Structure 1
Amino acid sequence: MTTIIRGGTVVNADRAFRADVLCFGDKIVAVGEGLDAPAHATVIDASGQYVMPGGIDTHTHMQLPFMGTVTADDFYTGTAAGLAGGTTTIMDFVIPDPKQSLLEAYHTWRGWARKSAGDYTFHVAVTWWDDSVHADMGTLVRNHGVNSFKHFMAYKNAIMADDETLVKSFTRALELGAIPTVHAENGELVFQLQQDLLRKGITGPSAHPLSRPPEVEAEAANRAIAIANVLGTPVYIVHVSCAESLDAITRARAKGQRVYGEALAGHLVIDDSVYHSSDLEFARGHVMSPPFRSKHHQAALWQGLQGGNLHTTATDHCTFCAEQKAAGADNFTKIPNGCGGVEDRMSVVWDAGVGSGKLTPSEFVRVTSANAAQIFNMYPRKGLIAVGADADIVVWDPEGTRTISAKTQFARGGFNVFEGRTVKGIPTCTVHAGNVVFERGELRAVEGAGRHIDRPAFSPVTA
């Protein structure tokens, strides 16, 4: 299969330049002006458009069993929706139950993911600790291409990692050349605040952000960063949602600590007024953790992306339909936490970032693919338009527009947190592994075409 993309402007994280891009099989084989191509090659006209690396969403949850239900998007529908939005690789999460073998859980998730239409790779959560977890982490790094381990500091009485688990897992990750990632919310504080609100009779979705104020996130972020600093390990903070957490990251980085931060597209453009809607189904549809914040925090997150203290953009794509969300109709703590977005992240970040002058096109590539590829050791296979890189490419029309709606989305769940937003800057064509999988509204995703992406350790494994 040969594909040539002609007449566009290639945009990488370091520069933009006019060039054709020739793909053979699943790799890019030439980049330059006036390239020759076989007569049988598929030709994509990118005149007046940008040609960029396919997006990498660093944070998704497909087919996740959570809070008594399972997300509406499985690995096929979720990755297919991502392809429609220009995202060609997702980083999902293996989340073992307490006392469950990490390897057993990993193999379960790998089985579910075989139907993926786009490429996928996994962070593996450490939800408990004993010698078997220590051993499983080594096996996952050495034999299964895992180089990141997730730690939930929230969700007391479920998957919350205490400080002992954090210290032991961070230490093991450092030995293995892997990076710890952290959901930073103080789970004990959240639990106590939830109980207090319920005792006061505040049971609706408006209570959700009250139970998870910025200080709860900031405390956990500071604690994770401090533990990582003492142990000498890098750390990656997922879904940073508030100025206080960003401040903790910024301070640490100013002192030379390797701390990385992730921002969600939703947190960049949606504010906490959604929880006060008289439409309770609408309000429940926005319940995720951390919650959406005030516009003050949105401005801070953009500054973090601009200043280089936040590095990646993601979605925490975790879709639930209205009936699933209604499980918490009388108790906000029972609303399944999660929102969608894998289909819309690229356009939302372009529209709100590049469209407003906050980001350049190259900075957009940095925060939607290149930084993720570098932080998680997939570069230069991913996150780059260059010879030898994967032929995962999005052709981007900076003048094209689309109005986002649950009625027209490919993702499941019947709800969209970006509902009604008209974005300027959209994908016209997505190429995955050298094949056109989306073109001008037509989705051509193939179930099972996605590949698992092994991510090597950052240093030789010695333990």
Structure 2
Amino acid sequence: MTIVIRNGTVVSPLGTSASDVLVDGERIVAVASASSGLADQWAASADRVIDAAGKYVLPGGIDAHTHMEMPFGGTSSVDTFSTGTTAAAWGGTTTIIDFAVQAKGTSLLSTLEKWHQKADGNCAVDYGFHMIVSDVNDGTLKEMETCIDAGVNSFKMFMAYPGVFYATDGEILRAMQKAKETGGTIMMHAENGIAIDQLVAQALAEGRTDPVYHGITRPPELEAEATYRAITLAKVTGAPLYIVHLSAAQALTAVANARNRGQNVFAETCPQYLFLSLDDLGRDDFEGSKFVCSPPLRPREHQAELWRGLRTNDLSVVSTDHCPFCFKDQKELGRGDFSKIPNGIPGVEHRMDLLHQGVLAGEISLSRWVEISSTTPARMFGLYPRKGAIAAGSDADIVVYDPAVKQTLSVETHHMNVDYSAYEGLEITGRVSTVLSRGSVVIDDGAFHGSTSHGVFLERELNQYLV
């Protein structure tokens, strides 16, 4: 099928241009200046012409941090790969990278196979995997090499959650040495879990059980300390390091200092840390439980520093850490004990829209919007130029975005499989108009036209910032 997208403004990390795009099958075959007149020739034989007048034409979003069907705290995140990737498409995200979760005592390869069984044939958009490494031993370290051969070359570790995912500094060091040897990337959840567990126990013993104490017992200083420690271990081993879901200004300072020294340290933040705050955790009537995630939401003054980090590239990527748990029967597990509230906020559908509000507010440029939501994650996780670009030869993952339309975010209108919206009632400007995934129209004119068997697994190359 041939599709012509004409009269739009193509946005890339290098700027904007009035350009027309020709799609044939699954790929972009040509991009031409609107003044060239080529769109008229293309349109004469095209199966479809999309008029993008007054709209942006963007490379499909890449959400490099999602958790579909993830077991946690005796329950599981409620978006399946089918519902979660469909919601992603509604929001202009055409690729997700999810996490295969190694349980202690199991192998990485059996874990990867289990996640393939969950996702294969059940995704509306394309997908890849990172590997969560929770059991470091000789066998696991050897299997990291096999995972890389299978297109999974990023490995997440935790300085938090003792007894579940927590890794000691020695275990982290060994995994980093293997990453250095093989070209893999270590991703780090950087919070001092040992100290946090003490603060949690003390708060509960004193009767401080409300959701807001989830944030208070995970202070930004303990995120900063763990971030600095992870950076130090990475420096000792020479391994690259990617800090996931950075939330605190103090942790950002540690990342910025390392980058200024020339160390291969990268970091992402998430929309919840840019738009929500500790005040939301403090909402009455247990409403604050809807906003429990880790690291926690911070006092509002951290937001300005995070936006600044996105402008300076000390924060390179915005992902969602999409991990939805329903309020009813899931978040409610923590009534009377905030430590039992499942950690996670839904957001895969709203990332592109929320970041557009940053453009409108002057926090980031149009080009930076595309860079942090699509092109950089494509480069960081070995998908570029197949993904993350409007260019001849790239996959036709294309978003036609209307920057003027108004919408109100709500559980009544979102497509995520969760019974609340973290952004309920937020009025925003901008919305997806049409979404193509590998040349197939999946969203158009307010309707889903895709298939939950359309998405394919992506074997990823190594981090291109290290080449």
Distance 1:42 1:195 in 2: 61
2:345 aligned partner = 339
> Normalized against structure 1, the TM-score is what?
0.97
Query: What are the residue-to-residue correspondences of 1:240-389 with 2, within 5 Å?
Result: 240-280=246-286, 282-322=287-327, 323-351=329-357, 353-389=358-394
Structure 1 distance, partners of 2:19, 2:299, is: 42
Taking the aligned partners of 1:438 and 1:228, their CA distance within structure 2 comes to 42
State which of 113, 126, 130 in structure 1 corresponds to 2:133. Answer: 126
CA RMSD, 1 decimal? 1.1
Unaligned runs of 5+ in 2: none
3-state secondary structure, aligned to 2:141? helix
Work out whether residues 96 and 126 of structure 1, in 8 Å CA contact, stay in contact via their aligned partners in 2.
yes
Deviations 1:255-310 (A, max 9, x none): 11111110101110111101221131x21111110111111111110000011100
Number of aligned positions between the proteins: 456
Matched to 1:86, the amino acid is G
Contact 1:56 1:368 in 2 (8 A): yes
Aligned residue number for residue 119 of structure 2: 113
Aligned 8 A contact 2:212 2:278 in 1: no
- Asked if the contact 1:95/1:126 (under 8 Å) is kept, the reply is yes
Report the counterpart of residue 225 of structure 2 in structure 1. 219
Contact 1:176 1:457 in 2 (8 A): no
For 1:447, the equivalent position in structure 2 comes to 452
**1:8 equivalent in structure 2:** 8
Matched, 1:437 2:442: yes
Unaligned runs of 5+ in 1: none
The answer for the alignment partner of 2:178 in structure 1 is 172
Residue 231 of structure 1 pairs with residue 244 of structure 2? no
Query: Quick check: 1:304–1:310 contact (8 Å CA) kept in 2?
Result: yes
Partners of 2:58 and 2:162 lie apart in 1 by 41
- 1:290 alignment partner AA: P
Please tell me whether the aligned partners of residues 246 and 252 of structure 2 are also in contact (alpha carbons under 8 angstroms): yes
TM-superposed CA distance for 1:130, in Å, is 1.3
Give, in whole Å, the separation in 2 of the partners of 1:330 and 1:24: 57
2:31 aligns to what? 31
Q: Deviations over 1:111-160 (max 9, x none)?
A: 11110111111110111111110111010101x10121101111111111
**Quick one: which amino acid aligns to residue 393 of structure 1?**
I
Deviations for 1:352-409, whole angstroms, at most 9, x for unmatched residues? x100111111111011111111111111111110001110010111111110001110
Q: 1:130 and 1:213 mapped to 2: Cα distance? A: 31
Query: Per-residue CA shift, 1:79-133, capped at 9, x if unaligned?
Result: 1000000000111101111121011011101111110111111110111111110
- Take 1:349 and 1:137, find their aligned partners in 2: how far apart are those partners? 34
1:406 aligns with 2:411: yes
CA contact (8 A) 2:380 2:463 kept: no
Offset, 1:54: 0.4
Does the alignment pair 1:135 with 2:115? no
Q: Distance in 2 between matches of 1:13 and 1:2?
A: 26
Distance of 1:170 and 1:20 partners within structure 2: 45
Tell me the amino acid that sits aligned with residue 19 of structure 1. S
State the 1:40 CA deviation: 4.8
- For residues 272 and 64 of structure 1, what CA distance do their matches in structure 2 show? 25
Contact 2:310 2:316 in 1 (8 A): yes
Which residue identity does 1:10 align to in structure 2? V
Cα pair 1:79 1:118 within 8 Å, conserved: yes
Give, in whole Å, the separation in 2 of the partners of 1:430 and 1:103. 34
Match of 2:49, SS state, is strand
Cα deviation, residue 24, structure 1? 1.2
Q: Which secondary structure does the structure 2 equivalent of 1:224 belong to? A: helix
Tell whether the 8 Å contact from 1:28 to 1:385 is kept in structure 2 after alignment. yes
- Tell me the SS of whatever aligns to 1:103: helix
Paired-residue identity, %: 42
Offset from partner CA, 1:203-223 (integer Å, 9 cap, x none)? 121210011110111111000
> Are 1:427 and 2:432 matched, yes or no?
yes
Runs of 4+ in 1 over 2 A off after TM superposition: 33-40
